[in-house]
Structures are given as structure tokens and as C-alpha cells.
């Protein structure tokens, strides 16, 4: 009996941690729309305001947030290529310099 209570407490604690992490990755409105659980209930559960692992908690634990993959806009990609080619003097040295420049800009974006 004692081990069962500890197991339930551990399951409850893990559920609260998992739902808190879910709340950082997806909006309550999106989760509510995709699960059918009312938004206010989703918000309460993501804040860890529950005492047992209910069917709604289990449903949220199974929820996988939709992550939109970034796909480059073809027109934007072509504009970048045209701009790079306009600045290149068609020499191997110029190509190396342009690549170094673009890589340094890439490094700035990560900061």
C-alpha cells in the first residue's frame, strides 16, 4: 500500500513537470483546440493545479505540439542568391571572401 502511494505521488509529480514543459512549447488556445479540453481547464492543468492524473491530464500528456517547419520562401531565396551574385567579382578569391562574409553574418544571427 505504501509503495502504491509513493508511485502515485511520483506519477503526479512527473505529470506536473511534463505539463509545465508542454506549456512552454505551445499555447493554451492551440492545445485546447486540438484536444477538445476547454482552454481554462488546459491553463489550470498546465500550471500544475490538479491533485490526480485525470483523463484530461492523460490526454494532455499524450498531446504532441504541432511545430511548423521553416521552409524558405522561394522568391526570398532567389533574391538572396541574386544579391550575392551581383556582389561577386567572378574570381575564386572573391568567392572565398564572399563566403567568409556570409558566414560571419550567420555567426552574428546566432548571438
pLDDT in tens, 52-102: 999 999 999 999 877 666 666 888 888 889 999 999 999 999 999 999 998
Q: With bands split at pLDDT 50, 70 and 90, how would you rate the model's confidence at 111?
A: low
pLDDT in tens, 36-65: 999 999 999 999 999 999 999 999 999 987
pTM of the model: 0.55
Among candidates 57, 70, 73, 68, which has minimal Cα distance to 22? Answer: 57
How far, in Å, are 63, 109, 111 from residue 104 at the CA level? 39, 9, 11
Amino acid at each position: 500500500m505504501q509503495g502504491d502511494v509513493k508511485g502515485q505521488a511520483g506519477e503526479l509529480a512527473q505529470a506536473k513537470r511534463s505539463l509545465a514543459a508542454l506549456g512552454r512549447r505551445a499555447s493554451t488556445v492551440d492545445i485546447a483546440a486540438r484536444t477538445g479540453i476547454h482552454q481554462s481547464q488546459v491553463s489550470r492543468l498546465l500550471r500544475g493545479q490538479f491533485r490526480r492524473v485525470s483523463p484530461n491530464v492523460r490526454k494532455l500528456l499524450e498531446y504532441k505540439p504541432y511545430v511548423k517547419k521553416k521552409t524558405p520562401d522561394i522568391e526570398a531565396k532567389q533574391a538572396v542568391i541574386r544579391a550575392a551574385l551581383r556582389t561577386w567579382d567572378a574570381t575564386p578569391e572573391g568567392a572565398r571572401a564572399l563566403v567568409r562574409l556570409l558566414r560571419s553574418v550567420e555567426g552574428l544571427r546566432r548571438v
